Amino acid sequence: MRLYSTNILLRRQAALAGACLVLLAGCAGLPVNVPPPSAPAQARTGLDSARFGQIDSAITEAIGERRLPGAVFHLERDGAVYEQAYGRFHYESDAATVTPDTVFDAASLSKVLSTAPSVLLLAEEGRLDLEAKLIDYFPECEGGGKEAITIRHLLTHTSGLAAGLPARPAWSGDDAAHALACAQAVTHAPGSFFRYSDINYILLGQLVRKVSGMPLDVFAQERIFGPLGMRDTGYLPLRRIPAAAIAPTQRIAAEAGGFLHGDLASNSASNPAGGLLQGVVHDPTVRRIGGVAGSAGVFTTARDVVRYARMLLGGGALDGVRILGPDSVRLLSTVQSPPGIAALRGMGMDIDSPYALRPRGTLYPVGSFGHTGFTGCILWIDPGSRSFYVLLSNRVYPDDKANVLPLYTRLGTLAAQASGVSAQGAKTGPASP
């Protein structure tokens, strides 16, 4: 059961701020069906409550501008918490209201919630070598300059492989994805160039399956999500969660090959003939694969991502349960890029690549870390202030066109200010993956 602050003054301030936001929204011509932030918010000492209204305003304004229909925001610092839910599942007046329990498509947050920690767990157990070659595990991938690619290169996006798999000619299934990945040639010598690449993490997800003997979704559930109490997190959510509990993403047209099958096709609103993706992964490559991949496919709630962040700040353990060893946390979250690479990445987390600059905001320092997801999701953690923030949204509804990058910078900066982080003079950067 979630415990909310009983501080009467803070509740009155939050209620007054919410009323002002609705009044201001009407004056600005915002849609009248945008609900105010959920109330009451969790708020305790340790965070600067003066920033809470600014956070609410930033997200509410973005909703009013149709940059995203709804979101959940969570900010935390050493037990002090501010959490709010905003907006609706979509822009129509009859849409369900977003709550802290709303399930979202986490997109590329899957890379750091599932794939990277799974690989690091296997390395902890001595079942794979992070410095070994890709072809040591997948000899069928030999050729095209891939012989020099190591597992480290895949984890840090320095393999030299392209950003993604081709969509044509039509294909489906994980075996086809593996064959396509193995057919790619590098564009740069492995270890010499940074390029954010879904192919890297597709291969890593397949590596987890090969080494562990379990599909990635099963391994992550048994070793990460289940033990950590991430009760709503996993792949293929329609197996266990009603579609009505999941924020919709994009409206899609018919897709060549009719590759939505099995659990994907079980959602009648999300089928090869086109329709609304609700409980079906937004990423088209992962839909072709079947919904489970190392690059995307995880669905989650803000509450569950919060538990994951707490575990990392706890050195790999939470509530007496150890998920990762301290060394794995270090590899995940500190600079592990090969020498000479300007984009600084851990074995999973972003630290100072061009994609880090928006969610980090203007105050969190280099050394903080996190990741984003294309659907409108952020996890950003600052060990120095022991603070982190989570944003889950469905900004890709309805047509994948909305730009929330300025919102990312604003939220990252406000989160840092609320957490007492001093000025660092950071800069802004390009779109996030």
Is residue 200, in this structure, part of any structural domain at all? yes
Tell me if 290 sits within 8 A of 173, measured CB to CB: yes
Q: How many CB atoms lie within 10 A of CB 2?
A: 9
The count of structural domains within the chain is 2
Q: State whether 190 and 88 are in the same domain.
A: no
- Per DSSP, 300 falls in state E
Q: State whether 38 and 141 are in the same domain.
A: no
Q: State whether 307 and 400 are in the same domain.
A: yes
Name which of 230, 260, 235, 262 is nearest 246 in CA terms.
235
Bridge partner residues of 104 (DSSP): 300
Fill in the amino acid letter for 89: F
The pLDDT of residue 67: 98
Tell me if 391 sits within 8 A of 372, measured CB to CB: no
- H or E stretch at 14: helix 8-27
Q: State whether 130 and 185 are in the same domain.
A: yes
pLDDT, tens digit (0-9, with 9 covering 90-100), for 212-265: 999 999 999 999 999 999 999 999 999 999 999 999 999 887 654 444 434 444
Between CA 378 and CA 333 the distance in angstroms is 15
The pLDDT of residue 141: 98
Between CA 17 and CA 57 the distance in angstroms is 9
Between CA 418 and CA 156 the distance in angstroms is 31
Non-local (6+) Cβ contacts of 370 within 8 A are 112, 349, 350, 356, 359, 360, 378, 379, 380, 381, 388
Q: State whether 144 and 49 are in the same domain.
A: no
Structure tokens at 276: 């609304």
Bridge partner residues of 135 (DSSP): none
Full-model pTM? 0.87
Q: State whether 202 and 116 are in the same domain.
A: yes
Q: State whether 387 and 308 are in the same domain.
A: yes
Is residue 202, in this structure, part of any structural domain at all? yes
Tell me if 19 sits within 8 A of 12, measured CB to CB: no
Tell me if 73 sits within 8 A of 66, measured CB to CB: no
Q: State whether 414 and 307 are in the same domain.
A: yes
Is residue 262, in this structure, part of any structural domain at all? no
Structure tokens at 255: 């897709």
- 3-class SS at 348? coil
The pLDDT of residue 328: 98
Q: State whether 97 and 161 are in the same domain.
A: no
The pLDDT of residue 433: 62
Bridge partner residues of 87 (DSSP): 70
Between CA 44 and CA 354 the distance in angstroms is 34
Q: State whether 83 and 37 are in the same domain.
A: yes
Residue 259 sits at φ, ψ, to 5 deg, of: -90, 10
Is residue 223, in this structure, part of any structural domain at all? no
Is residue 382, in this structure, part of any structural domain at all? yes
DSSP string covering 280-315? S-S-HHHHHHTS--SSS--EE-HHHHHHHHHHHHTT
- H or E stretch at 344: strand 344-345
Structure tokens at 247: 């924020």
Per the omega criterion (within 30 degrees of 0), is the bond before 398 cis? yes
Crossing angle of helices 116-124 and 198-212, in 10° steps, is 40
Is residue 362, in this structure, part of any structural domain at all? yes
Name which of 272, 279, 290 is nearest 239 in CA terms.
279
Q: Give the end of a domain, one of 190, 214, 238.
A: 214
The pLDDT of residue 200: 98
Q: State whether 79 and 16 are in the same domain.
A: yes
The pLDDT of residue 189: 98
Is residue 427, in this structure, part of any structural domain at all? no
Is residue 320, in this structure, part of any structural domain at all? no
Regions in the chain scoring below 70 on pLDDT:
1-45, 254-274, 424-433
Tell me if 285 sits within 8 A of 165, measured CB to CB: yes
Q: Give the end of a domain, one of 193, 214, 235.
A: 214
The pLDDT of residue 15: 41
The pLDDT of residue 38: 56
The pLDDT of residue 14: 42
Name which of 162, 186, 165 is nearest 174 in CA terms.
165
Name which of 356, 352, 348 is nearest 130 in CA terms.
348
Q: State whether 30 and 52 are in the same domain.
A: yes
Q: Which range marks the domain in which residue 118 is found? A: 110-214
